[in-house]
Structure 1
Amino acid sequence: MAGIPGVLRTSSIYDLDPNLGLYDYERMYTGDPSLLPPQVQQLMAATVGKNIVLMQATTNSPQTSDASRAIVNAIRADMGVGGGGQVLVGGQTAVDLDVIKFITDRTPIAVGFVVLVTYFVLFLLTGSVVLPLKAVVLNFLSIGASFGALVWIFQQGHLSNLLNFTPQSIDPSIPVILFSIVFGLSMDYEVLLVSRIHEEYARTGDNTAAVASGLERSGRLITGAAAIMVTVFLAFGLAEVVIIKAIGIGLAIAVAIDATLVRALVVPAVMRLLGDYNWWAPRPLRWLHERAGLSDLGVEEQPQLAPAEAVA
């Protein structure tokens, strides 16, 4: 373990005396501990158990740094124990690696579940298979932008003086929290916008006019709601804890981008380009939406004008 790059020194029961051999250690383990020198008794009590031996490796790298993580990975990969034993690595760096692996293994399942449920609910709302797909794809724009901003601010440390923090790697729980909250808020704004557009399209049958009217009717509501959320989230940036600071600023950036760029510009532009294909669905799914759909447009039937009497 002492030969691993980055390890400054190691300490364990085996560092007592380099002249001690296997036979000497067997006598220490199997003999009467009270016969050993006091300092040896203290060291054995702190580092040796019935089925475990504690060994410590010291490095000058920060706990969350790539160098410390490389040391942990090297210990786990290279150190073998005979007789059916195993190497267990503890410490904050090892815990971080285990948490990252846990999150990495399960995040695809969580993301897939959220996307599928969101797609299904939006289909029940709009009766389209295109709009839910568009909504999910565009939601990742806001989320991806917030992730990039967090790396630029907190990991690379470009605003460390302004926000009063020490640059460090992003905590693995932050992306998961941001994804969950931002995806929900973005979908909320999407429902507000698309519902108004859907109402106008059902009433007029004109996709271009429906997009313009829906944006006009819902734009102020989305902007106002987003402004409130951004203000609240920015307040978290005043926190002393870096994780809370990062979550608040990441949410504020994501909501601001989603409301000003994605919902106000990208969504209307994409729907304008798609035209009537926005509302397309296969016939079996249209039948399903007619019977199980969530939309209640409340569109009143336009009055029919009586034909003018012919002039004799």
Structure 2
Amino acid sequence: MKIQGKCFYQFTRSFSDRVGSTTSFVWASYCGLWQIHKSANALSALSEKPQWKKIEDYLVGEVPGRGGIDLHDISSKTWASHQASYSDFILTQGAILFEDWSKSLAEMTLVPGKKIKAETFQFASGATSNKWTNWSALDVPGIHTGSSFIKNEVQPALLTAYATNISSLDVLLNWYRFYKELRNSIAHHGGVIRQENVDAYETASLGSLASAGIKRNFSGVKPILGGKINLELHDAVLFLAIIQRLSFAFDAKYCHTNQAEANLIARLRGALADSPAPYELTAERKASWIKKFLMHRGGITPSSLPTAEAWLKSNNVLTIKVI
């Protein structure tokens, strides 16, 4: 589930990679288990008393370091129960990943007098709490003075790239809350549908995921109070798409803070400590070197290279003499 594009913060890149790895792991594992489940049931049906050790050796005997596989247990469960386990895993892993990412963004958007926490970026605009401040409060003019360099030279391209996601933040966040409540019901209430699940669905279903930049909409049915949660795997995977697009949208929206600039400067200085810049270059090679340095070590592509060079010099990051 890799989205072609860029983001500002390193922790957003790392988060996106981990979401993609989770998706790849789920599909590879899911397909592999399906083959084992199907084959084990077919082979066990050939005998009234299946010899599970022989069946196991035949099916997975050449798999290195396979650990303790209980093929009898795997085949005795319905495929629907296996699929439900994968859906549960996606909800739990996705919630953990997004919680950690939200905490990282909160550190980059701290404002005096505001309670900026992970929850700041987990509810639709206007949500209120005594424990945290909603992200919409950060959009009030004057709240963030921010970095003029990032705001003018870096942020515009990101805002354009993720314009659909940014304009659909409330839609994405409402669906995020729906999935988060599903996870809470599974983890803490035995998978029983609560009023919170019904309410979250009613709110989320007012918005279209397809219009928010995701390829398809949720295809499940409306949850019925007191029933059991039944989340199809293809709908569970949408949760990973939602949190990834939320991260890109918020990354672009809040990449210009003073903390973000300080973080960027620290990254660039750290890179130069590991691999110092050349003392002098021709004007052409200097421009090329700075462009590549900012792209590969800072993860940014400023719209004006002279402006970027002046910013580097003014912040005592880098000065290369022209020969």
Instruction: Using CA pairs under 8 Å that are at least 6 residues apart, name the structure with larger relative contact order, 1 or 2.
Output: 2
Q: Whose helix proportion is higher, 1 or 2? A: 1
Structure possessing the higher radius of gyration over alpha carbons: 1
TM normalised by structure 2 equals 0.28
TM-score, reference length from structure 1: 0.28
